[in-house]
Amino acid sequence: MPIQWYPGHMTSARKKAAETMANIDVVIEVLDARLPEASGNPLITELRNFRQRPCLKLLNKADLADPVATKAWLAFFNAQKNVKAVAISAKKASDVARLPALCQSLAPHRDDNFKPLRIMIMGIPNVGKSTLLNALVKRKVAAVGDEPAVTKSQQRIALTPRLTLVDTPGLMWPKIEIDSDGYMLAICHAIGRNAVIDEDVATHLAGILLAHYPEALTARYGLKLEGLDAPGVLEGIARKRGCIIKGRGGELDLEKAAMQFLTEYRGGTLGRISLETPETRRAMLAELASQHVETPAE
């Protein structure tokens, strides 16, 4: 079942973001390093291209992503016009300390007390924008939570006389065109749980790991993967973890197993695992095109 999630407050957040964009110099777009393209909001690209604003793409949570995949994504984004991309962990002070200078390099004309550099932080929910903002300001100015869409309004902060930050709410787009993107976003908890079925999301994750990181399943859960499909992996995890519904004759509690599996992936317990690479993305788009499915342009 396709996943869609667009809470009502995001319509007004988009309008406000479009208004603010007119008066900023550089957009920081925070992406999830495990799914950099799927976590990129096409509305943000549309808004900044309309205003011709340069973009610093931050592949956040890089400590959770496959470093080989991250290297490929950095090359992919840095080949784009008006874009600079870096991989960071917003929890690492030395990574965050680099960002003002990187933004300055994208707008060298804004570098004095009379023309302070104006930066807008944007991204989808739960990619680490609030953690990043708090690290930049070096104090808690934004609420940080494990649930997506914690921040619901903009705030403007003068970091120095020469640098102003505008923090924006996590912004989704009205319709997720590619079904697998919806599942990857749900895997990384960028979509509210009320919009998803955990068992389906965990099964999608199992399929990705079977195809690209089977050793992670073997190492963590001791599964013998020969002959197993994605639903079989989730059933195997349920058995290994003793997820049984009481009074149901040994029936597996797949919902409980799904939550354990997703929580361990999100926390990095399974290792550094990326859900997509430029190569797998190209292959997926080519397959959709061959099926005559309309997809958004890269």
The widest CA-to-CA distance across the chain, in whole angstroms, is: 73
Q: Is the dihedral of CA 77, 82, 88, 89 positive or negative?
A: negative
Q: In this predicted model, what pLDDT tens digit does every residue of 210-226 receive, in sequence order?
A: 999 999 999 999 999 99
CATH for the stretch 9-167: 3.40.50.300
Structural domain boundaries of the chain?
9-167, 197-290
DSSP E strands, 50-153 = 55-60, 83-87, 117-123
Q: How many CA atoms lie within 13 A of 222 on its CB side?
A: 4
Beta carbons of 180 and 275 less than 8 angstroms apart: no
Structure token pair of residue 83 = 């874009």
CA distance 154 to 110: 22
- For the chain, 298 residues long, give each residue's pLDDT as a single digit of tens: 678 777 766 777 788 888 999 999 999 999 999 999 999 999 999 999 999 999 999 999 999 999 999 999 999 999 999 999 999 999 999 999 999 999 999 999 887 778 889 999 999 999 999 899 999 988 887 665 555 445 556 888 988 888 999 998 888 888 899 999 999 999 999 998 888 999 999 999 999 999 999 999 999 999 999 999 999 999 999 999 999 999 888 899 999 999 999 999 999 999 999 999 999 999 999 999 888 755 555 5
| Residue 149: per-residue pLDDT | 45
CA distance 79 to 20: 27
Bridge-based pairing of strands 163-167 and 117-123 is parallel
Q: Establish whether domains 9-167 and 197-290 are of one fold.
A: no
Structure token pair of residue 270 = 């399974």
CATH 1.10.1580.10 correct for 197-290: yes
Predicted structure pTM score = 0.90
Q: In this predicted model, what pLDDT tens digit does every residue of 128-158 receive, in sequence order?
A: 998 999 999 888 876 655 554 455 568 889 8
Beta carbons of 128 and 167 less than 8 angstroms apart: no
Structure token pair of residue 261 = 């599996």
CA distance 170 to 191: 11
